[in-house]
């Protein structure tokens, strides 16, 4: 079957290169690693799916792993459409992540009606806990793959199910050293078991690309060193799993994107937040965005990316007050109930996706890091908080993404937080990003007005790595390097041995540690919030209609699961009192994991806890405003 029959469009230069040349170096069903290094928005996913089908041959399925729940949900339907056209027979396609309920865990594909078939449920067996990864085609968060190499229950079963499929890892640059350590162990095991792997990234440093290739080869061909070679960007390389022979193919994109970068100071970043008041820095961000509409442009869609959920919520509120009524303000982040998040994400992709049928004329999309990976968005102008360079490039990739011209100019405004003295405050978001990395990024951007993609991307990534290299006596750099090493070291006690170092099967099933200690993410402290509202009839799962909170968890958890909000442990959660405890009838049932009830005193009324104001809103999501600072 032709590429156009699978994806409904002609292959671009990357995809055509794979079609023409991958056959010459990859043997179907044989061990091998393929790495696609290609600019954002240029069809890596489709190229990766075609390559996985070729490398796996007719007897292997495909498992696509992505960084987050939001990106996984977004990719699921794209993979489902590909699978129903590409597979020779009906096959289940499942969705697997921590928030996937029964309704979203799978679809049975049929080829009787290629264009009009509605989604149908996967077999009952594949809808059980931990079982979606056993399907022939699966879309999941990367966590579902990393669990296979942790010292936890059923890891061997997971390895057995996952290694029946070609593993495709998207955005493989997006993982910290802890997760990279786990991923290298996965690659070693997949190599030892002869399973092909496809890695994809738009901002992958060459050193990381080589380390991942070496990890795979250490499993597939122990003792065979990885030959010296320089990964191509833009392009791809393939490493033969038996001989270690690399095949490097640079590819001309045929398209140039010119990012017109402008750094703008963000005043007020040093000021403390007052209760029920929008911080000065969030008001300043909103004013920068509002000014873009001041000249009366009839068609303008602006992407505004904030580093925190609270900033995104505040910015959206201010923009709704500042902008004219004809400018739509959309908001999307990770702190929604599952049922609301799915709808919000679908609306955003419909408004700003490749199909421009429903595109608004004037709009602002306010978002967080959820936009960076796999969300196929296309807006005119990108305004972003200062962040690490690869992150900014990923965010800028959502600007004029689907323009057909061979030369595209994308305006990118980078907001630099300022101290009270008006100096750059590189540590403003140190809880999220390394101060040293943010400072190095700012210094690199200050020296240039444009970034040309793809020509400038790889040199800039290498320059960033050089600034953070060993030998520096800078305190921030040393702190960054120590933090990176601490994350890598934290992975060692929880991961199973390298396949070539395994001497006893007990090492695979050693459960001396707990599942909580063996986490897929560094210092994972997530918790689930269940918003509830007091009504005359009792506690309700919905604010505007009465849906009673069940006294006991039902067999079908979907009505409860789809109303959960995943967030991190915070101080306000400790002060909710007895109302925060799940019903006594839920005791001993671990299917939902750590859970806190957020009981609103009435619909439209917030919860007050130790000075915090907390509430859930369908537009804003979960809002937690801190206490008033003491004078």
CATH code (residue 295)? 3.40.50.300
- Are 341 and 432 part of one and the same domain? yes
Token pair recorded at residue 307: 């580093």
Q: Give residue 119's pLDDT.
A: 44
Residue 151 included in any domain: no
- Are 441 and 541 part of one and the same domain? no
Q: Give residue 157's pLDDT.
A: 87
Q: Does the pLDDT at position 115 exceed 80?
A: no
- Are 417 and 534 part of one and the same domain? no
> Distance between CA atoms of 445 and 463, rounded to whole angstroms?
11
Q: Give residue 374's pLDDT.
A: 58
Tell me the average pLDDT of the chain.
88
**Alpha-carbon torsion 503, 509, 511, 516, what sign?**
positive
Question: What is the DSSP secondary structure assignment for residue 272, as one 8-state letter?
Answer: P
Comparing 424 with 271, which gets the higher pLDDT?
Answer: 424
- Are 320 and 440 part of one and the same domain? yes
Residue 565 included in any domain: yes
From 453, 480, 515, give the residue that closes a domain.
Answer: 453
Q: Give residue 244's pLDDT.
A: 95
- Are 295 and 402 part of one and the same domain? yes
- Tracing tokens 């122990």 back to the chain, one arrives at 222
Q: Does the pLDDT at position 138 exceed 80?
A: yes
Q: Residue 7 belongs to what H/E stretch?
A: helix 3-7
How many CB atoms within 10 Å of residue 53? 21
Residue 471 included in any domain: no
Q: Assess whether the previous peptide bond of 454 is cis (omega < 30° from 0).
A: yes
pTM over 0.75: yes
- Tracing tokens 């919905």 back to the chain, one arrives at 542
> Distance between CA atoms of 258 and 453, rounded to whole angstroms?
6
Residue 585 included in any domain: yes
Q: Assess whether the previous peptide bond of 350 is cis (omega < 30° from 0).
A: no
CA atoms within 13 A on the CB side of 146: 26
Taking the alpha carbons at both ends of the chain, their separation in whole angstroms is 70
Q: Does the pLDDT at position 109 exceed 50?
A: no
Q: Does the pLDDT at position 186 exceed 90?
A: yes
- Are 537 and 394 part of one and the same domain? no
Contacts of residues 281-288 at CB distance under 8 Å and 24 or more positions apart, as own/partner, are: 281/311, 281/417, 282/311, 282/314, 282/315, 282/318, 283/314, 283/318, 285/311, 285/315, 285/383, 285/385, 285/415, 286/315, 286/318, 286/319, 286/322, 287/322, 288/264, 288/383, 288/413, 288/415
Q: Give residue 43's pLDDT.
A: 84
The proportion of the chain whose per-residue pLDDT surpasses 90, expressed as a percent, equals 62
- Are 448 and 534 part of one and the same domain? no
Q: Span 205-221, mean pLDDT?
A: 95
Residue 446 included in any domain: yes
Q: Give residue 631's pLDDT.
A: 45
Looking at the 3D structure of the chain, how many domains does it have?
2
75-79, 97-101, 433-437: the lowest-pLDDT one: 97-101
Contact 29, 163 (CB under 8 A): no
Q: Give residue 361's pLDDT.
A: 95
The pLDDT confidence band at residue 56, using thresholds 50, 70 and 90, is very high
By residue count, the chain amounts to: 631
The pLDDT confidence band at residue 100, using thresholds 50, 70 and 90, is low
> Distance between CA atoms of 196 and 52, rounded to whole angstroms?
8
- Are 268 and 374 part of one and the same domain? yes
108-117, 303-312, 489-498: the lowest-pLDDT one: 108-117
- Are 392 and 265 part of one and the same domain? yes
> Distance between CA atoms of 51 and 196, rounded to whole angstroms?
10
125-134, 388-397, 561-570, 578-587: the lowest-pLDDT one: 125-134
- Are 449 and 530 part of one and the same domain? no
Q: Does the pLDDT at position 517 exceed 60?
A: no
- Are 404 and 549 part of one and the same domain? no
Q: Give residue 96's pLDDT.
A: 85
The pLDDT confidence band at residue 110, using thresholds 50, 70 and 90, is very low
Q: Does the pLDDT at position 30 exceed 80?
A: yes
> Distance between CA atoms of 60 and 69, rounded to whole angstroms?
25
Q: Give residue 354's pLDDT.
A: 84
Closest-CA residue to 152 (of 520, 526, 509, 592): 509
- Are 311 and 414 part of one and the same domain? yes
Phi, psi of 278 (to 5 degrees): -85, 130
Q: Give residue 511's pLDDT.
A: 62
Residue 46 included in any domain: no
> Distance between CA atoms of 382 and 352, rounded to whole angstroms?
13
Q: Give residue 416's pLDDT.
A: 97
The proportion of the chain whose per-residue pLDDT surpasses 70, expressed as a percent, equals 91
Q: Does the pLDDT at position 529 exceed 90?
A: yes
Q: Residue 192 belongs to what H/E stretch?
A: helix 177-192
Contact 473, 284 (CB under 8 A): no
Residue 347 included in any domain: yes
Angle CA 420–422–428, to nearest 5: 70
The pLDDT confidence band at residue 112, using thresholds 50, 70 and 90, is very low
Q: Give residue 123's pLDDT.
A: 67
> Distance between CA atoms of 622 and 565, rounded to whole angstroms?
8
Residue 359 included in any domain: yes
Contact 293, 304 (CB under 8 A): no
From 426, 453, 480, give the residue that closes a domain.
Answer: 453
Comparing 350 with 376, which gets the higher pLDDT?
Answer: 350
Indicate the Cα dihedral angle 350, 354, 358, 359, nearest 10°.
100
Give 533-585 pLDDT, tens digit per residue: 999 999 999 999 999 999 999 888 889 989 999 998 888 999 998 899 999 99
Q: Span 448-457, mean pLDDT?
A: 94
Q: Give residue 406's pLDDT.
A: 84
Name the residue range of residue 316's domain.
Answer: 256-453
Q: Give residue 76's pLDDT.
A: 87
From 453, 471, 503, give the residue that closes a domain.
Answer: 453
């Amino acid at each position: 079957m032709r590429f156009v029959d699978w994806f409904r469009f002609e292959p671009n230069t990357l995809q055509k290169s794979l079609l023409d040349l991958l056959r010459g170096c990859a043997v179907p069903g044989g061990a091998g690693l393929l790495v696609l290094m290609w600019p954002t928005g240029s069809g890596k996913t489709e190229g990766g799916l075609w390559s996985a089908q070729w490398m796996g041959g007719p007897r292997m399925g495909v498992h696509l792993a992505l960084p987050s729940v939001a990106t996984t949900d977004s990719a699921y339907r794209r993979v489902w459409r590909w699978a129903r056209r590409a597979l020779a027979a009906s096959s289940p396609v499942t969705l697997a992540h921590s928030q996937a309920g029964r309704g979203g865990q799978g679809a049975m594909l049929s080829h009787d009606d290629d264009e009009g078939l509605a989604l149908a449920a996967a077999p009952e067996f594949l809808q059980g806990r931990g079982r979606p990864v056993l399907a022939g085609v699966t879309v999941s968060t990367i966590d579902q793959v990393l669990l296979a190499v942790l010292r936890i229950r059923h890891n061997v079963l997971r390895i057995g199910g996952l290694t029946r499929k070609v593993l495709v890892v998207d955005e493989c640059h997006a993982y910290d050293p802890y997760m990279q350590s786990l991923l290298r162990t996965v690659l070693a095991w997949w190599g030892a078991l002869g399973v092909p792997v496809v890695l994809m990234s738009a901002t992958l440093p060459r050193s990381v690309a080589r380390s991942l290739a070496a990890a795979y080869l250490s499993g597939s061909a122990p003792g065979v060193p990885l030959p010296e070679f320089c990964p191509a960007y833009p392009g791809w390389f393939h490493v033969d799993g038996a001989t270690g022979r690399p095949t490097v193919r640079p590819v001309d994109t045929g398209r140039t994107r010119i990012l017109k970068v402008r750094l703008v100071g963000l005043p007020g970043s040093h000021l403390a937040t007052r209760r029920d008041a929008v911080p000065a820095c969030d008001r300043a961000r909103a004013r920068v965005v509002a000014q873009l509409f001041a000249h009366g442009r009839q068609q303008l869609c602006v992407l505004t990316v904030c580093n925190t959920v609270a900033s995104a919520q505040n910015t959206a509120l201010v923009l709704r007050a500042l902008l004219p009524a004809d400018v739509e303000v959309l908001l999307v982040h990770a702190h929604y109930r599952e049922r609301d998040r799915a709808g919000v994400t679908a609306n955003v992709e419909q408004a700003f996706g490749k199909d421009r049928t429903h595109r608004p004329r004037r709009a602002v999309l306010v978002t967080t890091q959820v936009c960076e990976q796999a969300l196929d968005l296309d807006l005119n102008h990108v305004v972003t908080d200062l962040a690490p360079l690869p992150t900014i490039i990923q965010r800028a990739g959502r600007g004029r993404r689907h323009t057909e011209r061979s030369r595209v100019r994308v305006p990118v405004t980078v907001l630099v937080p300022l101290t009270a003295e008006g100096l750059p405050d590189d540590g403003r978001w140190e809880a999220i990003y390394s101060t040293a990395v943010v400072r190095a990024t700012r210094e690199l951007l200050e020296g240039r007005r444009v970034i040309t993609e793809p020509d400038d991307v790889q040199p800039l990534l290498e320059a960033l790595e050089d600034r953070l290299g060993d030998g520096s006596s800078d305190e921030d750099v040393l702190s960054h390097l120590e933090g990176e090493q601490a994350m890598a070291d934290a992975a060692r006690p929880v991961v199973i041995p390298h396949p070539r170092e395994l001497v006893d099967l007990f090492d695979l099933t050693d459960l001396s540690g707990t599942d909580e200690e063996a986490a897929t993410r560094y210092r994972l402290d997530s918790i689930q919030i269940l918003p509830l509202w007091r009504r005359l009839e009792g506690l309700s799962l919905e604010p505007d209609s009465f849906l009673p909170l069940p006294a006991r968890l039902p067999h079908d958890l979907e009505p409860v699961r789809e109303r959960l909000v995943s967030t991190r442990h915070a101080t306000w959660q400790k002060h909710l009192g007895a109302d925060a405890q799940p019903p006594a009838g839920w005791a001993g049932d671990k299917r939902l994991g750590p859970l806190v009830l957020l009981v609103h005193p009435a619909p439209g009324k917030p919860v007050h806890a130790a000075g915090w104001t907390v509430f859930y809103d369908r537009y804003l999501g979960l809002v937690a405003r801190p206490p008033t600072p003491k004078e």
